[in-house]
Every structure is written in structure tokens, then in C-alpha cells.
């Protein structure tokens, strides 16, 4: 049911670690000023959650490229060894110049399904990678459109925007998790002390995870939105016809289980077949190919 990428998983892990550390500092060393004899200081709690929430998402952002290379086994093209690699470098370079960004790293990862992704903490420090299956199954025009789509993600600053959205969501998740934790601690565990008890810490961590999962639906909504925007950039840089043909060429892969690592599904151009209860659509990282192609047919690059 979930389409939660490595960014979200890393972010959640950082938040849980921060929650534990802050809980220890607050309980035993009085650090933070969130708790007092009168209960929670909501202003202090909001500031703490805002700072820690943004830190979690920023850590995820800064290590995104390194983790992408590691999880997919992407081999960055340092010096082209054949005509295909040279063409990939030249095409990405041309597209990067067209949108006024620095040349991204270009790589290939071993995956039989046609796919590609872009990531990086800065649009001038990005990585664009394509699968071996994509190079084998698509025409040069279709690959050009896929590369343009990925350059669109980079030029639009999608990773940075994603990090900012995730940071705000983190803050709300941590804030409400601690309010719920305090309520459970006081009413269920009957803690009447000056500081938080075990019920507060356990409940807060559990709610960090549960609310974080539910809130990921917002992040996935943005992920679906950014796919439409990247498709439009693909139509601008390559052509609308090439972009539509590239998406259409992904249909066979969409009918099979996704072979991309779970950690990278949200960042890929295509997602595999989705099954299960309909609420799973809230957690899809990608719109359907039919929706994407329909949107492109209505899009006129010359008027954008």
C-alpha cells in the first residue's frame, strides 16, 4: 500500500532518534523547558518541534544522492566508455544548459525495467540516472524525453520543496504526538509529577511513527503533483510527442511488480502495478500513466 521513499524513511528515523534524545535530556537534565509543574509549555514545544522537524528533513535531503547511489547500485559515468554513455552525457548537458543549471552527475543502474530518477540536495549538485532496462527498451527519442523529465525535477527544485514540506509536517507530527503523549501520561498512567513519565515517552514515540505514516499522504500528494510538472518540462525540452511516447512505453512495466528498490520508488519516473484497498491511492507516489498522458495532451509547451 505504501509508496514511501528513502527520504521519508530516513526522515522518520531521524525524528524518532531526536525524540528519544530530547526525551532523555528533558527528563533527566531539564533541558528544553517544554515541561513544567503546570504541564506542557506549548510555545517552547512548538519551537522545539519546528527546529527538530526541519533538521530531520534537511538531513534526509543532504544524504539523498549518496543513499540513492548506494540503494540502486548506480554507476556514475566518469568518462564515457561507449557511444551510448557519450550520448547520455551530451543530452543531459544540453538540457541542463537549456534550464540554466549546472551539469548533473549522470549514471546507469542495473534494472531490467525501464526507469529513471533524479535526486540531490541542490539543483546544481544533482544526479540523473537511468536503468539498463530503459536504455534497452526505449528509442533514443523516448530516452531523451525521460532525461528531460528528470531534468525537470532538478530544475524545479523538487527535492528542496519536498524537504520543506516534510519539515513542516514533521513539526506538526512531533507537536501533536507530544500533546497526545502528555494526555495519556496524565489520564491513563495517572502521572501527577512535575515532569513527564514513561507513558509520555512511549506514547510520543508511537504517535511519531503513526502520525508520520498518515501525514506521508500529504507528501505523496506533492510527489504526484511534481510528476505532472516534470512531464511538462519533458515536453518543453524534448517535445510533447516524445514525452507522451516515453510514458506510453512505460505501460508494460506498470503491469508488473515494481523492481525499483523500495527506498527509491517515490523518486522514479515510473511505478509498478498497484494493488490493494483503494485508500492506497493516497500513498501513491505517481499518478497513473493514463492521467499523465491525458494531462500532456491538454498541455501546449509553446503557451507555457
The grid coordinates listed for 243 are: 514525452
Q: Quick one: DSSP state of residue 103?
A: P
8 Å CB contact between 155 and 233: yes
- What region, left, alpha or beta, does residue 134 occupy, with left being phi > 0 and alpha being psi -120 to 50 degrees? alpha
Q: Up-side HSE of residue 79: CA atoms within 13 Å toward CB?
A: 0
Q: Which residues are catalytic?
A: 150
Please tell me whether residue 106 adopts helix, strand or coil conformation.
strand
Alpha-helical (H) ranges within the chain are: 6-29, 42-62, 64-72, 83-98, 132-137, 140-155, 158-187, 198-237, 240-248, 251-254, 289-297
What are the distances in angstroms from CA 243 to CA 141, 143, 157, 293? 9, 9, 20, 9
Q: Up-side HSE of residue 77: CA atoms within 13 Å toward CB?
A: 25
The grid coordinates listed for 82 are: 561507449
The grid coordinates listed for 142 are: 523516448
- Per DSSP bridges, beta strands 35-36 and 39-40 are antiparallel
Amino acid at each position: 500500500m505504501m509508496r514511501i521513499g528513502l527520504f521519508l524513511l530516513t526522515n522518520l528515523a531521524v525524528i524518532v532518534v531526536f525524540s528519544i534524545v530530547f526525551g532523555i535530556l528533558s527528563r533527566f537534565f531539564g533541558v528544553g523547558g517544554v515541561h513544567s509543574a503546570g504541564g506542557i509549555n506549548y510555545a517552547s514545544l512548538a519551537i522545539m518541534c519546528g527546529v527538530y522537524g526541519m533538521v530531520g528533513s534537511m538531513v534526509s535531503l543532504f544524504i539523498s544522492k549518496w543513499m540513492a547511489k548506494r540503494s540502486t547500485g548506480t554507476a556514475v559515468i566518469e568518462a564515457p566508455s561507449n557511444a551510448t554513455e557519450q550520448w547520455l552525457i551530451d543530452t543531459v548537458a544540453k538540457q541542463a544548459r537549456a534550464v540554466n543549471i549546472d551539469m548533473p552527475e549522470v549514471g546507469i543502474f542495473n534494472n531490467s525495467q525501464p526507469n529513471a530518477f533524479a535526486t540531490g540536495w541542490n539543483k546544481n549538485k544533482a544526479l540523473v540516472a537511468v536503468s539498463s532496462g530503459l536504455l534497452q527498451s526505449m528509442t533514443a527519442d523516448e530516452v531523451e524525453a525521460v532525461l528531460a523529465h528528470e531534468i525537470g525535477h532538478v530544475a524545479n527544485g523538487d527535492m528542496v520543496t519536498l524537504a520543506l514540506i516534510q519539515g513542516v509536517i514533521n513539526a506538526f507530527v512531533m507537536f501533536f504526538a507530544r500533546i497526545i503523549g502528555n494526555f495519556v501520561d496524565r489520564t491513563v498512567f495517572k502521572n501527577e509529577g512535575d515532569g513527564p513519565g514513561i507513558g509520555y515517552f512511549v506514547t510520543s514515540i508511537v504517535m511519531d511513527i503513526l502520525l508520520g505514516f498518515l501525514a506521508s499522504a500529504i507528501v505523496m500528494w506533492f510527489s504526484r503533483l511534481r510528476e505532472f510538472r516534470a512531464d511538462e518540462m519533458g515536453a518543453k525540452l524534448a517535445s510533447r510527442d516524445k514525452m507522451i511516447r516515453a510514458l506510453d512505453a512505460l505501460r508494460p512495466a506498470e503491469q508488473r511488480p515494481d523492481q525499483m528498490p523500495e527506498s527509491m520508488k517515490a523518486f522514479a519516473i515510473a511505478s509498478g502495478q498497484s494493488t490493494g484497498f483503494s485508500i492506497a491511492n493516497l500513498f501513491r507516489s505517481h499518478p497513473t500513466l493514463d492521467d499523465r498522458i491525458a494531462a500532456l495532451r491538454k498541455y501546449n509547451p509553446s503557451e507555457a
